Amino acid sequence: MPILKRLTRLYESRGIHISTGLNPCHFGNLPQVNFTWFIKDGESLTNGLGIAMQEIYFLECLFADRQPKNVFVIGNSAGWSSFALALINPAARVVAIDAGFDRNALEGLDFTNRVAAEEGLDLRAVQAVSPDGIAAVAGAQMTGPIDFAFIDGYHSVEQVVRDFTALRPHADPACIYLFHDVHEFKLQPGLEEIARLSSLRWQLLLGTPSGMAIVYDATLCPALADDIAPFCAHESALTLVEAEFWQCRHRRRRPTAAQTRHIWGTTWPRISPPGLALVWILTYHLPARRSAAWLSLSAVSPTIGFSTLPAFAKLMRTGAFAPGAAGPWRCAAAASPPRPL
């Protein structure tokens, strides 16, 4: 039975707003909007996000025909995935650990334990650091071997191997291990190492927003491959999608008129031919003639002629008629007669 309605209500009824499953295409392709945000007083409560709505659906599909008795979670934060596993598996003992290093993580442990008690869920959240704290917590809190482990702690290749290695002695041989954010954080080498050390099979689940990966014994869990098949991308599908993505990124588009003018440097506004002729005269011819006149007058004493008149002096101080305004025409005016208008 779907649990998203009750899961969301656990937070909403206690003043924490939930945002989950938003389409990144609607928000500037920001991938984080797909995951679960915990919002109070207009701010995010955590510096990490909960698993996405689609990943909740994956868990519901995974446990449709499975009833684990002991579930172990690495990475509790605000309790979202821990509550989801407890609601999907009401007969199981769910134990979650968190190091408490992230923002509001310790408050998240208290919140998880308080709400679990109020809702009658067999869920316990404990402050512990993986991998060193796994043995003590599993020995004290589990009622038997671990049937399912959800690993969503520190995201590094070395750490996921350490987490698995610490869990394996306390797990049932048929235990299923689910790793979050594998594709997102490029943790595939860690999964390859786990498969090499344990001889278990692993599968990347690209049909989940974070690119989760699952590790299991194919002999003891023969039906699991069919259950997770809809969340696995077929090789031919990946080839087709990647080719389409490349085409979208490199497709040649016909430039607009504005882009064409920008490319060729003709970004001037459109004006009539007489207006263009006037601009040409004011820009090139008049500054050139004024430069020639300036040079001819500068050869005479500045106390003689028009240069002594205030109006002439004011005119020559105007930027458009100063010698420097003529640019390259200044040298040409000095070397040759003025150009006729």
For 271-318, how does the pLDDT look when each residue is reduced to its tens digit (9 = 90+)? 677 877 787 787 776 766 655 555 554 444 444 444 455 554 554 454
| 228 and 79 housed in the same domain | yes
Number of domains making up the chain: 2
Claim to verify: residue 287 and residue 224 sit in the same structural domain? no
Whether 88 and 174 map to the same domain: the answer is yes
Q: Grade residue 14 by pLDDT with cuts at 50, 70 and 90.
A: very high
User: pLDDT at residue 55 above 50?
Assistant: yes
- CATH classification at residue 73: 3.40.50.150
CA distance 324 to 288: 10
**How many residues are there in the chain?**
341
CB 144 within 8 A of CB 70: yes
Domain coverage including residue 281: 270-335
DSSP letter, residue 234? -
Is residue 67 located within the same domain as residue 161?
yes
Q: What is the mean pLDDT of the chain?
A: 85
Q: Verify that 164 and 91 share a domain, yes or no.
A: yes
The verdict on residue 314 lying in a domain is yes
Are 209 and 288 part of one and the same domain? no
Banded pLDDT at 47 (limits 50, 70, 90) = confident
Residue 107 inside a domain? The answer is yes
Domain shared by 277 and 230, yes or no: no
Provide the pLDDT for residue 143.
Answer: 95
Taking residues 108-137, what's their average pLDDT?
Answer: 98
Q: Round to whole Å and give the CA distance between 9 and 248.
A: 41
pLDDT at 53 over 50: yes
Contact 97, 73 (CB under 8 A): yes
> Is residue 258 situated within a structural domain?
no
Q: Are 180 and 326 in the same domain?
A: no
215 and 100 in a common domain: yes
Q: Is 256 part of a structural domain of the chain?
A: no
Quote the percentage of the chain above a pLDDT of 70: 77
Instruction: For the chain, count helices (H), then strands (E).
Output: 14, 10
Domain-embedded: residue 290:
yes
- Say if residue 231 is in the same domain as residue 274: no
Higher-pLDDT residue of 327, 277: 277
Reduce the DSSP state of residue 205 to 3 states and report it: strand
28 belongs to a structural domain: no
